[in-house]
Each structure stands twice: as C-alpha cells, then as structure tokens.
Structure 1
Amino acid sequence: MEERIVKLYTKNSSIPLKVVPGHFATNHSHVNYYLDMTTLKSRISEATEVAQNLAGDYMLNTVIDTIVCLDGMQVVGTLLAQELTRAGLHSMNAHNTIYVITPETNGTSQLIFRDNLQPMVQNKHVLILMASVTTGITVRKSAECISYYGGTVAGVASIFSNVAEVEGFPINAIFHQEDIPDYQSCAVHDCPMCKAGQRIDALVNSFGYSKL
C-alpha cells in the first residue's frame, strides 16, 4: 500500500493528507480511498497545524466548554483546546476552561459517558472532533449521545468530510469532497467494486488498516 500513497494539500495549509486508492471496508461502508491520518493525529507538529486550522472557525462567536474526541483525535483535541483557550474563547463552565474527553462504546455500539465524565457534558456546549466524516452515521450517534447526557452540540470538526452537513450540523473540515472528487463511500450491498469482483485490500477504522 505504501507505494501508492499520494499526499494532498489544501490551498491554505501545508497539512499533508495521505491518500491511498483501493478497495477498503469500514464499519459502515466500502470506500475507494484509505485516508492515512496517522501522523496528523499523533505527530505534534502536524497535529498542531490541524488544531490551528480548525480553531479559526470557533474563536469569534462559538461557546465551547467540552471537546469530545473520536477516531483517536485526543492529541489534536488537546491542542485545539489550548488554541481556543489562548484566544480567550468564552466558556460557560465554572472553571473557565475546556474539557477534552472521549466516550466509550458499549456492546451494542452505543456511545456512553461514565458517571465521572457526565458533568463535563451536561449543560455544556460540546464540539465533536473527528478524523473523518464519510456517511454521517457517527456524527448522528455522537449528537444523540451528547443530547442524552444533557449537552448541546456546538459544532462538528474533522480533518476530512465527504458531506457538508449532517442533521443540520455544518461540518468544519480541512479537506472536503472536492479535494478528492472521485471519493466514494457505498453501502456494502451497493459497492461497485464488489460487483466488479475487485477484492478488498484492507479493513480500515480509526486505528488504521489491516491488509487482507
């Protein structure tokens, strides 16, 4: 897979998105590109650039008390909280700071917060931070989870998004569908690559990929 990696850049950023073409299976769909965000999520220099890029849309008029990190985005979430705090972002919580937390997934794939984390969601303005938004399913689940625990979704941010909005929530992303115009995310039974007999190259999720 490494021989086929292509790095994409946006006009306004030096952040590299590593793109690998092929046939990949996710938890929700089949996609024709694997987006390798490993260094963007774990290398401080790149994660800082990601955080700085995403922070711009929230500095002026968005209240954020808590950042809920999905897809292994905890490093970016911490740096984003620092950027927003440094900018003097208004916070409604008693400590005038920003919480950075991650939900658990139970046996039925529901997102949950333990009792000790629930006060960081209840009556808080919550930013959902993801690596990528492809079908919107995870955004819906996250928004439902936050609402259940008494929080308010203040926004959704991601490195890549294949959609402009989900359930009325605009997706603030660095890379968009137009950056990878032939990107496809299909339900398993509608996958054209499967119908053409193309073998799956790897199983992919937020942790990475496993070749088949």
Structure 2
Amino acid sequence: MAMNLVKLPTGKTNLMLRVCKGHFATSHSHINYYIDVTMTKSRLSEARAVAAELVKEYTLNTIVDTILCLDGTEVIGACMASELTKAGYANMNAHQTIYVVTPEHTVGSQLLFRENTAPMIAGKHVLVVAASVTTGYTVESAVEAINYYGGIPVGIAAIFATQQECAGFPVTSIFDPNDLPDYESYDSHACPWCKAGQKIDALVNSFGYSSL
C-alpha cells in the first residue's frame, strides 16, 4: 500500500509527528500506527529541535559522558551532545566532551561493543536515545549491554514512547499516546486484527516500511 502519512503538528518549530494508520508488524508486535521518524532522524533542523527538547530533562542534574544511539538516531545524538556540552553544562562532565556511540547487533539481537568502542561505555554515564520506546525490548537490551560493559545507565530518551518507564529508568519523549489516543500495540499472537482476518499492510522497523 502507498503510505498516506499525516503530519501532526506540535505548535513548536520543526517538531511534528508523521503517522499512517493501518495494520503493521514490527519484530516484536503488531501496531495500528506506523510512526515515520525518518525525516526527524535525518533532517538537521528537525534533529536539532528534537535534541533541544530532550536535553531539557538532563541539563541540570544528570552527568552524561556517552550517548548511545539506537534506531539510527546518530544525528539527534550528536545534536544532544552539542547541547549538553554548551557553556555551563560541561562542568558536570569530567571529560568535558561526550561520546556518541552506535552499538553493533549480533544475530541474536544482542548489543555488542568492539574493543575500540567499549572504552566509551566502561565507567561512563550513558544516556540511551531511541526513535521509539513501545514494547521496550530494544531499550532493555541496551541497558543490559551498558551494565555488561561496565557503564552506568542514566536515562532513556525517545522521539515517541508509550511507556513512562523502562528498564528501571524514566523515559523522556517528545510524543506519547496523548498525541495518538487510539494507538494500539499487541503481541503478534494476540493481534485482534489478525484474528479478524485483516491483512498486514506493511512490515516496519526503524529503517522504514516494506508494503505487503
């Protein structure tokens, strides 16, 4: 199917949510909204706007040495690092800089850091940034990996989130179910649309969608 994306404005410059309603399958669930964050992750003006909003939660009382970027959020992560190292914040950071890191995924979906990137996690205060937090599986894996490699998780930030807390940490997000009151997510085995015979419109993930 052709994606019929609708833009939901927020009243803030360069901040909007692009969505399409239907029956979509992710690797962990079936959802009735595809949330397209491609432009938000890739367009510098939007990434800066997202970063400026998300860092408000962390500028005053959270030490951040490393930003761990999931779902292709590296541009947002770099913008957040820039915001967090502006004058007045760097005093909280012993290194006066911030690493922006992307994990490697194994075949079993575990997160891996090689010997050249692991030191950017070990002993560091790590902020996790994701495109979305819905089921929470990916973010939970990230927190587990940070702990495994000797890092200190300090928070979770996302563009869209249906959870206020994940892996024991509050989730900061730009958008939540208040922006999509009829948003629904189900385990694939309990999907009411599948049981009703409604075909899946597309397979979706952080890279985009593939129509069926």
TM-score greater than 0.5 by the shorter chain = yes
1:118-158 Cα distance to aligned partner (Å, 9 max, x none):
11000100000000001111111111000000001110000
Q: Per-residue CA shift, 1:76-106, capped at 9, x if unaligned?
A: 10011001111432213xx320000000001
The answer to whether the 8 Å contact 1:10/1:175 transfers is: no
- SS across alignment from 1:56: helix
Tell me the CA shift for residue 211 of structure 1: 0.6
Name the counterpart of 2:111. Answer: 111
Q: Distance in 2 between matches of 1:13 and 1:132?
A: 21
Task: After superposing the two structures, state which structure 1 stretch, 180-189 or 1-10, moved more.
Answer: 1-10
Distance in 2 (CA, whole Å) between partners of 1:188 and 1:3 is 22
- The one-letter code of the counterpart of 1:144 is E
Partner of 1:192: 192
Instruction: Tell me the amino acid that sits aligned with residue 21 of structure 2.
Output: P
Correspondence for 1:162: 162
Count, aligned residues: 210
Contact 1:24 1:200 in 2 (8 A): yes
Matching residue of 2:149: 149
Structure 1 gaps of 5+ residues are: none
Correspondences of 1:44-59 after superposition (within 5 Å): 44-59=44-59
AA at the equivalent of 1:74: E
C-alpha RMSD of matched pairs (Å):
1.3
Give secondary structure in 2 for the equivalent of 1:4. coil
CA distance in 2, matches of 1:7, 1:163: 22
| Percent identity over paired residues | 56
Question: With structure 1 as the length reference, what TM-score do the two structures score?
Answer: 0.95
Query: Which has the larger displacement, 185-194 or 79-88?
Result: 79-88
One-letter identity of the residue aligned with 2:113: F
Report the equivalent of 2:24. Answer: 24
* TM-score relative to the length of structure 2: 0.95
Q: Verify: 1:135 aligned to 2:172, yes or no.
A: no
Contact 1:24/1:33 (CA < 8 Å) preserved in 2?
yes
The 5-angstrom pairing of residues 80-91 of structure 1 reads 80-89=80-89, 90-91=92-93
| 5+ long unaligned stretches in structure 2 | none
What is the letter of the counterpart of residue 132 of structure 2? Answer: S
